[in-house]
């Protein structure tokens, strides 16, 4: 999981979810963790996801469905995506550096190869069918790696500080500059080019994957958002939008795109990307 400035706007503007009927409410899949968890007398391996993720989807007008790591074969992935109208690849442990041809940094997490494989297949299949998707933190990094890019494994080695991940589960904030001609800029609906966002990550995108463009960076040049060219909705951010309960803009954007995808699927001879 990893005095006011006229050009700065916090990402806090509230947004109302559009009205929908039960038949038009889009189904949004969210990937989950698979970790050792303790509850009551039980200490077991369990799939889970912080409530703030799926609560944001529900409040944005979608139906949240959790997707635990499982065998990443094309048939299983296809069946899952056949049922979904949108996908969120959530935050979590570091992507296995072997996926982008590097040895592990001493501070890189132990790999969760089952989750890497599962989410990689979900993303590739979602891109192939133009299913709307949103990547968050790890999700942005995995998207980049899936498309042939690489990661900086430990930002403090480059920046000389731990401002992007102070530790202890406490989210920091950074200012990011958003590209004015990007979908992200349209989603945030902010007249300013700079927004303040919550972060918790020690890795970041290095070499870009195929088809991706950078749509937000910090003043130090750390990539904070990318978009996939040609996708109906293919947005990924390094920050954690789910941490601001008053700001649903990215989730509402995904849910709206998913609603359009659902409508297009149910209409013969209509292009999904319209």
- Residue 105 is among the residues annotated as catalytic for this protein: no
**Two structure tokens written together for 7:** 């050009």
Element (H, E) at 39: strand 33-39
Contact predicate 214/153, CB 8 Å: no
8 A C-beta contact, residue 238 and residue 225: yes
Residue 161 designated active-site: no
Within 10 angstroms of residue 221's Cβ, the number of other Cβ atoms is 10
Is 242 part of the annotated catalytic residue set? yes
Decide if 256 contacts 18 (C-beta within 8 A): yes
User: One of 164, 185, 202, 240 is an active-site residue; which one?
Assistant: 240
- Across the beta sheet with 133-136, what order do the strands follow? 8-10, 194-199, 172-178, 212-218, 223-228, 234-237, 133-136, 86-89, 27-31, 63-67
> First vs last Cα of the chain: how many Å apart?
33
- The answer to whether 126 and 133 are in contact (CB under 8 A) is yes
Find the catalytic residue in 119, 121, 227, 242: 242
Residue of 204, 225, 222, 206 lying closest to 214 (CA atoms) = 225
Q: Which residue in 137, 152, 154, 202 is the catalytic one?
A: 137
Read off φ and ψ for residue 85, nearest 5 degrees: -110, -10
Q: Supply the residues annotated as catalytic.
A: 137, 240, 242
């Amino acid at each position: 999981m990893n005095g006011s400035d006229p050009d700065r706007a916090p990402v806090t503007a509230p947004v109302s979810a559009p009205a929908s009927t039960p038949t038009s409410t889009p189904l949004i899949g969210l990937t989950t963790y698979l970790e050792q968890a303790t509850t009551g007398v039980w200490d077991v391996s369990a799939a889970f996801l912080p409530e703030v993720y799926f609560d944001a989807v529900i409040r944005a007008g979608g139906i949240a469905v959790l997707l635990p790591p499982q065998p990443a074969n094309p048939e299983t992935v296809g069946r899952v995506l056949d049922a979904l109208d949108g996908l969120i690849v959530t935050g979590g442990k570091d992507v296995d550096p072997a996926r982008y041809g590097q040895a592990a940094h001493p501070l890189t997490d132990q790999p969760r190869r089952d989750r890497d494989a599962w989410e990689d297949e979900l993303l590739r299949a979602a891109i192939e069918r133009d299913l709307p998707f949103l990547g968050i933190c790890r999700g942005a990094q995995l998207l980049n790696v899936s498309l042939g890019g690489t990661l900086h494994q430990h930002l403090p080695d480059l920046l000389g500080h731990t401002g992007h991940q102070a530790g202890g589960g406490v989210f920091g904030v950074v200012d990011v500059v958003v590209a004015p001609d990007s979908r992200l800029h349209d989603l945030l609906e902010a007249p300013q080019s700079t927004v303040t966002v919550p972060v918790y990550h020690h890795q970041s995108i290095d070499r870009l994957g195929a088809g991706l463009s950078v749509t937000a960076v910090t003043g130090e040049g750390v990539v904070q958002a990318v978009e996939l060219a040609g996708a109906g909705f293919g947005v990924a951010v390094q920050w954690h939008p789910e941490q601001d309960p008053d700001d649903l803009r990215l989730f509402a954007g995904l849910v709206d795109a998913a609603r359009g995808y659902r409508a297009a699927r149910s209409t013969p001879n209509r292009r999904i990307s319209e």
